[in-house]
Structure 1
């Protein structure tokens, strides 16, 4: 009941803002999302509103959007992570709800040339060449196992805990390949889910991997950044842990992400389409 009241409160705050602001309201999931999109939106024509809370910020964004749509509120747009939505059939759809091209904001950054810039700054060309590594491909292959297990956990309501995974215990320091059995055991221990069978989870993971889904929709960006951080301390570079800690790497990826990369995304095209269908409301500057 408290969560429902809270969602209504979020919607009412936006209704109150409408009395003094006639532009577009764009709902986003968190402060880092707001910081990122602030670089691209027209601040005079558009206000970014962070909606966060339980059970998840994304769910809250969608619930607030639904409430406002039911009251025929104009000039409202929501931008959320895709997560596993493109791999599932029953997902909420609305012309006022846009999803990022990839699983989440961090994977969108990693899929762009921003990663090349970060590797050039923190990586060792000599080491990467020596081990003949395509960094982006290696990250995706390793992160795919973690992403699939996260998806399995959500679909089967296993409630496995993925926060704070010690990737250094699970990944080969020379190849960055992950030991899937150790990963499963780590997740079970962290989640105190000792009744789950290793073999059953391994079989479910094998089935998922055989489907050859788009890894950009499977992998979670935070996991990829954690794996990158580990690699830049060994096979990909010679950095101290404090120099390439994950939060710092994510900041560097955001800073390395240029406007031209954003213009090439489907999200950019979708925003332009939304503007066309919702005149006179705008999100992006007219000159880009």
Structure 2
């Protein structure tokens, strides 16, 4: 139902809720984000509000925050995925708007010890040992090609479709290396962008990769999980596709993510800073 509510309606609901609730309102993008952050939030003093819908959950979270801030509403905080924000001129900044440490929540999960647990659970020790690199590095070195193409598409208004691309069409099942031309062809076909010049896209991708950006800011977590899912069927393990499908793996990563990992993030420190500047409002559970 929330998908059909305008940002004004959601902002008004929060204002009305304030008459009976004195705690913090924490805006998060989607249901998986809400599930994740609920573990660290003191629900007696902080209420999570999911902002999923169109045009995008992130944009909706920011718009709702702006509306509330313009009316001097106190005790509201938004946490959104960083995406490519750290490389772009931001349209809106606010001390009440925080971003994930890396590109998104899923990359934060993969770049934590939770990943090692999931890999140990679903992977084959013998097969993993055949890789000369850490599996995490294999994922980000290949996932970065998809991330850069997404950034190129967004920056140039190409409106290419990345959702639903079939990774098996451009991933080597033995090495997990990406064939970049086949990747571009798959995105071109999925987008029905038949006038897209493949060689030009290859050159743009090559140019972007030469900038040596932090791959954790470029790679999309969902893409890394797709590569991991593909790898756990043959290169890294012997699982059936249904047992390691991406949504299931992301759920496993969230479950394997311990509180102590969160306490070591910049996001945690940012929330603590927000709490200290916005007393008496609180977000996090106290821990010892």
TM bucket, shorter chain = over 0.9
Question: Are 1:82 and 1:103, in contact at CA under 8 Å, matched by a contact in 2?
Answer: yes
1:133 is displaced (CA, Å) by: 3.6
Deviation at 1:4, TM superposition (A): 11
Say whether the 8 Å CA contact 2:173–2:231 is kept in structure 1.
yes
Aligned to 2:229: 229
Matching residue of 2:16: 16
Instruction: Kindly report which structure 2 residues correspond to 1:123-202, keeping only aligned pairs within 5 A, or say none.
Output: 123-202=123-202
Matches within 5 A, 1:246-261: 246-261=246-261
- The CA distance in 1 between the partners of 2:287 and 2:130, in whole Å, is 45
Superposed, 1:34-53 pairs within 5 Å as: 34-53=34-53
The count of residues paired between Structure 1 and Structure 2 equals: 286
- List structure 1 segments (4+ residues) > 4 angstroms apart after TM superposition: none
Structure 1 unaligned residues grouped into runs of 5+ = none
Matches of 2:255 and 2:7, distance apart in 1: 32
TM-score (ref. length: structure 2): 0.97
The answer as to whether partners of 2:28 and 2:49 remain within 8 angstroms in 1 is yes
Aligned-residue Cα RMSD (Å) equals: 1.3
SS of 1:27's partner is strand
Quick one: distance in 2 between partners of 1:54 and 1:240?
A: 34
Q: Which residue of 1 aligns with 2:28?
A: 28
For residues 229-256 of structure 1, the C-alpha deviation after alignment (integer angstroms, 9 at most, x for no partner) is 0000011011110110001000000000
Conserved? CA contact 1:85–1:91, under 8 Å:
no
Cα gap change, 1:4 to 1:239, in 2 (>3 Å): closer
The Cα shift of 1:134 comes to 1.1
Q: Deviation of residue 92 (structure 1)? A: 1.8
What's the offset of the Cα at 1:5? 7.7
User: Is 1:100 the equivalent of 2:89?
Assistant: no
How far 1:199 moved relative to its partner?
1.0
